[in-house]
A and B are shown apart, each in its own frame.
Chain A
Amino acid sequence: MACFFSKLICYESFGKKEIQSVTEVMMEFWARLLNVVLAIAIGCGGVIGLFYLANIGINALPKPWNRRLLPWVYISPALLLLSAYLILPTVQTFYLSFFDGRSQNFVGVQNYIFAFSDPAMLEAFRNNLLWLTLVTGVSVSLGLIIAVLVDKVPYEPIIKSLIFLPMAISFVGASVIWRFIYAYKPAGADQIGILNALLVTFGFEPVGWIVEQSVNNFALIAIMIWLYTGFAMVILSSAVKGIPEEVIEAARIDGANSWQIFWRITIPMIRSTILVVSTTIIILVLKVFDIVFVMTGGNFGTEVIASRMIKEMFNYRNFGRGSAIAIVLLIFIIPVMVSNIQRFRAQER
């Protein structure tokens, strides 16, 4: 863990493997496969065995007791994991955010002052704001437009699948795909990135999409838009289909055109769904780290809050600052949390 991130960059164990005989390779392969199967069996079997044992234990208890205890047997593994991995660590991070880099001396709100005043942090805030508005705005509105249009054609499922497909691709995989699209070669050489090839064909200079500070943030944001427009489209499309046919028919008889129907009926009627989709994407964007990490490593002015936090934690090993940034991230999400609870309460009534 010591040189965690530098290790990533200067990883040296590639390519130097000695040539082995075919049988050796096969043996090794089977041994590895066996390991995998064993690990999976232990992991999956363990949890089911746990419930089975607990149930036997409960049944051994006298009657009134087992009735009262059984619900807790059912939820306690969940509560245990939730406390261990979400509740307690979050509380502890909050506590650590008031201490120095090595978590030894109390420093008050100094880490928070840093989080809101350091130039690199301000840059991260600015970029995150750009991410939030662009990713949410573009993917939701584009998703909505596609959802409305796709409703009117017979080959709807194919189009939907194609646009939804990137959802299955990891941020890392998507980053490789888009690095290739943004690939840059100096003017005069044959461009292998399709974007620069297009530019050159139309007589422009090729652009270093990832390193050029005026465009690189937009280049990274485009990746996330590509990934999540399909998500927005699928949800909004089902909401659009949920609008009763009679309402639209009635509007049409009253002389409304498609444009008016879209603005006066479709949008108001699916407003709550638009809100849900937007908040989901906002949460995803706030947490995004992989794209920046793989594409630029946060260089060239592309840092965002989450990648900044990882950097403080591992590169500079300043746990106080890292914690403070994490808590800032959490604070931004609290409004979403509150609206979630309200929605849940309303739904239960």
Chain B
Amino acid sequence: MAKHNQVQFWQKAPIHIALLAIAFLWTLPSVGLLISSFRQREAMLATGWWTVFQHPFELTQYHLENYVNVLQAQGMGQAFLNSLTIAIPATVIPIAIACFAAYAFAWMEFPGRQFLFILVVCLLVVPLQTTLIPILRAYRDFGLSNSFLGVWLAHAGYGLPLGIYLLRNYIGELPKDLIEAAQVDGASHLKIFTKLIVPLSMPAIASFAVFQFLWVWNDLLVALVYLGTTNDVAPVTIQLSNLVGSRGQDWHLLTAGAFISMVVPLAVFFSLQRYFVRGILAGSVKS
């Protein structure tokens, strides 16, 4: 049997080669970035990052100074904190609001339910570009521009359609008996919601959370328009694009900066990849 498997393995050689080649090609850009970010400035400007493989264990060619420099002098450290300040509430707020709305759409009777949900389905694809000008004006009138609150609410608004859609699909498929039994026992809607629906929907909530967090953390446009580019509020994406604009040839700063901007989303992505994939599937494959 083992031998048979081995034969089969070798028969598939073309498939293995093709897959490994694609995976290699897809990983190469990020690996290049990571290696470069540890190299000396002069070395980076003189030779390609792959030259480190000529003497891979010569540790003197690596150092951490690019990171220290970019975090302190280039404002990336503050930007990192700003990104956290933006992304965490901008994830929690729409989750809370979408959960309640999704529960109401799935298990409560009220006039206009179907119509309102179809509206949400429509809003799923509205490009946020169509909303920029009026919101920017309103923000100026209400004094919300350049404030974290303004960005939280904007991200919450833009993320809600997907959140409501995903969560309603999930919550709507929870067993009906369960909810009816709780109602017979005299549980209020709030009790059913907090004690039953939220714990049971954790996989869906987690997948939407990953979605929303990645989207907010990686966003450039919303931050650029509503938050502005001053150091004390700008997130990592803006700071990084500033670096590209002003120091486009300083590869030691750019590569380290880019990697700093990627650390958190990559960590979130890898630890919650399972949920993320499930969320994508729930949202897109359902036919």
Query: Would A150 and B269 count as touching, CB distance under 8 A?
Result: no
Which one of B52-60, B77-85, B178-186, B200-208 is at the A interface?
A: B77-85
Per-position binary interface string of chain B over residues 145-172, scored 1 when its CB falls under 8 Å from any chain A CB and 0 otherwise:
1001100111011101100100000000
Query: Would A71 and B109 count as touching, CB distance under 8 A?
Result: yes
Q: Beyond A170-B220, A178-B29, A231-B280, is A51–B127 a contact (Cβ under 8 Å)? A: no
Please give, as numbers and ranges, the residues of chain A lying within 8 Å of B125 by CB-CB distance. 283, 333, 336-337, 340
Please give, as numbers and ranges, the residues of chain A lying within 8 Å of B67 by CB-CB distance. none
A306 to B134, CA, bound (A): 17
A42 to B218, CA, bound (A): 23
A44 interface residue per 8 A CB criterion: yes
Query: Would B220 and A173 count as touching, CB distance under 8 A?
Result: no
Chain B count of residues within 8 A CB distance of the other chain: 120
Query: Would B93 and A341 count as touching, CB distance under 8 A?
Result: no
CB-CB nearest in chain A for B122: A337
Which one of A1-9, A111-119, A130-138, A212-220 is at the B interface?
A: A1-9
A192 to B85, CA, bound (A): 36
CB-CB nearest in chain A for B237: A172
Contact of A78 among B98, B122, B158 (CB under 8 A): B98
Per-position binary interface string of chain B over residues 87-104, scored 1 when its CB falls under 8 Å from any chain A CB and 0 otherwise:
011101100111011011
A251 interface residue per 8 A CB criterion: no
**Residue with the highest number of chain B CB atoms closer than 10 Å, among A44, A89, A276:** A89
Please give, as numbers and ranges, the residues of chain A lying within 8 Å of B258 by CB-CB distance. 172-173, 176-177
Query: Would A86 and B284 count as touching, CB distance under 8 A?
Result: no
A144 interface residue per 8 A CB criterion: no
A26 to B93, CA, bound (A): 31
Please give, as numbers and ranges, the residues of chain A lying within 8 Å of B285 by CB-CB distance. 235, 238-239, 273, 276
A153 to B231, CA, bound (A): 49
Interface positions of B from 50 to 79, Cβ below 8 Å from A: 50, 72-75, 78
B174 interface residue per 8 A CB criterion: no
Query: Would B74 and A8 count as touching, CB distance under 8 A?
Result: no
A302 interface residue per 8 A CB criterion: no
**Residue with the highest number of chain A CB atoms closer than 10 Å, among B78, B242, B257, B270:** B242
A85 interface residue per 8 A CB criterion: yes
For chain A, what secondary structure do more than half of its interface residues adopt (helix, strand, loop), or is it mixed?
helix
Query: Would B123 and A190 count as touching, CB distance under 8 A?
Result: no
Please give, as numbers and ranges, the residues of chain B lying within 8 Å of A238 by CB-CB distance. 281, 285
Query: Would A74 and B108 count as touching, CB distance under 8 A?
Result: yes
Per-position binary interface string of chain A over residues 197-241, scored 1 when its CB falls under 8 Å from any chain B CB and 0 otherwise:
100000000000000000000000000001001110011001100
A243 interface residue per 8 A CB criterion: no
Please give, as numbers and ranges, the residues of chain A lying within 8 Å of B48 by CB-CB distance. 190-194, 197
Per-position binary interface string of chain B over residues 249-277, scored 1 when its CB falls under 8 Å from any chain A CB and 0 otherwise:
00100110110011001101110010001
B6 interface residue per 8 A CB criterion: no
Interface positions of A from 1 to 48, Cβ below 8 Å from B: 1, 7-11, 13-15, 17, 32-33, 35-36, 39-40, 42-44, 46-48
Contact of A11 among B33, B152, B229 (CB under 8 A): B229
Please give, as numbers and ranges, the residues of chain A lying within 8 Å of B287 by CB-CB distance. 272-273, 276, 343, 347
Per-position binary interface string of chain B over residues 16-29, scored 1 when its CB falls under 8 Å from any chain A CB and 0 otherwise:
10111011001111
CB distance from B229 to the nearest CB of A (A): 6
**Residue with the highest number of chain A CB atoms closer than 10 Å, among B89, B117, B125:** B125
CB distance from A258 to the nearest CB of B (A): 10
Interface positions of A from 95 to 147, Cβ below 8 Å from B: 96, 142, 146
Interface positions of B from 127 to 145, Cβ below 8 Å from A: 127-135, 145
Query: Would B245 and A8 count as touching, CB distance under 8 A?
Result: yes
Q: Beyond A71-B109, A86-B126, A294-B241, is A170–B81 a contact (Cβ under 8 Å)? A: no
A248 interface residue per 8 A CB criterion: no
B36 interface residue per 8 A CB criterion: yes
Q: Beyond A86-B123, A152-B12, A167-B269, is A330–B130 a contact (Cβ under 8 Å)? A: yes
A309 to B278, CA, bound (A): 34
Query: Would A39 and B85 count as touching, CB distance under 8 A?
Result: yes
Query: Would B93 and A47 count as touching, CB distance under 8 A?
Result: yes
CB distance from A176 to the nearest CB of B (A): 4
Query: What 9 pairs across the A-B complex have the smallest Cβ distances?
Result: A85-B157, A43-B89, A170-B218, A89-B131, A168-B269, A78-B101, A74-B104, A176-B258, A71-B110
Can you identify 26 A-B contacts, CB atoms within 8 angstroms? Answer: A35-B81, A40-B89, A43-B93, A43-B152, A44-B93, A47-B92, A74-B103, A74-B189, A75-B100, A78-B98, A84-B157, A86-B123, A86-B158, A90-B126, A142-B22, A165-B27, A165-B266, A171-B220, A176-B33, A190-B47, A194-B49, A226-B29, A287-B128, A289-B129, A306-B127, A310-B221
8 more A-B residue pairs beyond the given contacts A161-B270, A168-B262, A326-B130, with a C-beta to C-beta distance below 8 A = A43-B88, A71-B104, A89-B131, A163-B22, A177-B29, A294-B244, A337-B122, A341-B122
